[in-house]
Amino acid sequence: MTDEMAGAGLSVQTVATNEIEDAADRALIARYRSVRAQTLALAAPLGAEDQVVQSMADVSPTKWHLAHTTWFFETFILRDHAPGYRVFDAQFNYLFNSYYEAVGPRHARADRGLLTRPALDEVHAYRAHVDARMEALLADEAALRRMDGLAELVELGLNHEQQHQELLLMDIKHVLSCNPLRPAYAERAGKNADRAPPLRWLSFAGGTHEVGHAGRGFCFDNETPRHRCWLEDFRLASRPVTNAEYRAFIADGGYEEPRWWLADGWQTVRNERWRAPLYWYEQDGEWMEFTLHGGRALDPAAPVVHVSYYEADAYASWAGKRLPTEAEWETAATSGTGAAGPVPFRLHPPPAAGDADLEQMTGGVWEWTASPYTAYPGYRPAPGAVGEYNGKFMVNQMVLRGGCCVTPVGHVRSSYRNFFYPHQRWAFAGIRLAEDAA
C-alpha cells in the first residue's frame, strides 16, 4: 500500500473488547506511548532538511508522516470524543489530510514536499499537544468504556501509525538514494552472510480452504470476511529468491528478452530503461546496492528486494515457475511449517537462516502474489468517516504478503494484505516462487 492506503480500513469485526478490557485499559495507553515514541525514534537520525523533501509523488516527507499520523488521532478521536478539545491549528486539517474526501479539501499529494512550514519544531509541538490529550483520554477508564468503539479507533490509529513507520523508512530510503553522495540513514554492524540455504520445495494439499482474518485481534477490513475458496495442490519455495539468483537472471539477458515479460511490464522496462532492481547500481563492473546503511556490495545470499511485480513475474517465468496466489500463500503460512517467530526488525533483509521448513514468511521481504487486489466475497465497506473509502483502492494493484524487515514487529498477520501497483518498486518487495503440484 502507499500511504494513501495506510489505515484505509477499520475492521468491522475487530471487536476484541474483552481482550482490551481484561488486560486493563492501561495496556492501551502503554501501547499508545510505545508506538508514538517509535515513530519519533525512527525520525531521530535525520536532520530537518532530510525530513522536508519529497523525492517523487509516491514518497511523503518524514515531517508529513509525523504530522499526518497525529492528525489522524486529532481528527477521528479527539475532535469528536474529547470534550472541550481545541484543534491545534485549523489549517492542519487541509495540510495533513491524506485522502479522506469526506473530511474536506486537502493539500495535493504531489506537493507535500513544498511544505517548509510548519517547521519541524511546530510539528513536534503538534505531536506533544495531541499526545497529552490522548493520554488523558486513555487514562479515563470510564470514558473509554462509555464511548462505543473508541478503543477500536485508537487501535486503528496505532496500526495506521505503524504503517506510516514503514512508509517513513521506505520514503527516506528513496530520498537519500537520490543524492549522489549516497548518505546512510544509519551505520551498520555486521557483514554479509556467505551463502543462503539451498532452495527446497514444500508441498501443500488443495481442496476447500478458508482464508481471511479469524479470531478476535485487530485486522483491517480488507482481510474480511473469512471465506472459503478452492485450491489445487501446489508447492511453495522454502525461501525468497536471493540476489545471486536474481543476478543470474540479469546475466542471462533477462531485461533484454521480451519473452519473459508481461506486455505492460516489457513496456515499462523499455520506457524506464530498467536493467536491475531499483537500488542496484554498477561500480567498477560490480553490482552494488544502495541500502539504509548507504551503498555497499551486493549481498548474494540476501533476498532480492525492491523489485516490481513485473520483475517478480518475469523472474518466475524465466525460472520456469510462477508466483503463488494470495490464498496459497496464506494457506501455507498457516500450515505450521514456518519459523517460530518473526525475524526481528532490521534495516535491510538478511539472508535466510536455514532454521525452518518455510523460511522468512515474515520479516524478510514483502512477497508479490499473483493475486490482484480485490474485495473478498461478501466484503462490506465500514460505515462512517474512517471507513468511507475502504474499498476504493481495489483495482489495478497486486497483493503482497508477509511483511518485511522494516515492518514494525507484531504489525503483520498471515491474513494481512498489502498492495501496490505492479510497476512500483520502492517498497521492500521481493519474490517467493510457487508451482503446480503435478
Q: Specify the residue for cell string 542471462.
A: 252
Among 11, 14, 39, 55, binds a copy of itself (CB under 8 A): 55
**Per-residue burial over 7-39, b = 16 or more CB atoms within 10 Å of its CB, e = otherwise:** bbbbbbbbebeeebeeeebeebbebbeebbeeb
Q: Specify the residue for cell string 510539528.
A: 123
| Backbone phi, psi, residue 297, to 5° | -65, 145
**12 or 356, CB closer to a copy of itself?**
12
**129 or 346, CB closer to a copy of itself?**
129
The reply on whether position 435 binds a copy of itself by CB under 8 A is no
CB of 87 to a copy of itself, least distance (A): 15
| DSSP 3-state of 100 | coil
Residues in contact with a copy of itself, shown as a per-residue x/- string from 168 to 197 under the rule CB under 8 A: -------xx-xxxx-x--------------
Q: β-strand 429-430 against 366-372: which pairing, if any? A: parallel
Among 101, 252, 272, 282, binds a copy of itself (CB under 8 A): 101
Residues belonging to the chain: 438
**80 or 264, CB closer to a copy of itself?**
264
**4 or 135, CB closer to a copy of itself?**
4
Among 12, 15, 16, 95, binds a copy of itself (CB under 8 A): 95
Give the DSSP H or E segment for 308.
none
Tell me the number of residues near a copy of itself by CB under 8 A.
69
The reply on whether position 37 binds a copy of itself by CB under 8 A is no
Per the CB < 8 A criterion, the answer to whether 364 and 303 are in contact is yes
CB of 429 to a copy of itself, least distance (A): 15
CA dihedral 29, 31, 34, 36 (to 10 degrees): -80
Rounded distance, CA 39 to CA 214, Å?
29
**CB contact set of 288 (below 8 Å; sequence gap of 6+):** 280, 281, 282, 295, 296, 297, 298
**Per-residue burial over 167-198, b = 16 or more CB atoms within 10 Å of its CB, e = otherwise:** bbbbbbbbbbbeeeebebbeeeeeeebeebbe
Among 143, 214, 385, 394, binds a copy of itself (CB under 8 A): 394
From the list 97-105, 124-132, 157-165, 345-353, the region that binds a copy of itself by CB under 8 A is 97-105
Among 31, 33, 107, 129, binds a copy of itself (CB under 8 A): 107
Among 85, 99, 281, 345, binds a copy of itself (CB under 8 A): 99
Residue type present at position 29: I
The reply on whether position 104 binds a copy of itself by CB under 8 A is no
Which spans of this chain sit near a copy of itself (rule: CB under 8 A)?
4, 47-53, 55, 63, 91, 94-95, 99, 101-102, 107, 111, 113-120, 175-176, 178-181, 183, 208, 227-232, 258-259, 261-266, 309-310, 313, 370-372, 374-375, 377-378, 388-389, 391-396, 398, 422, 436
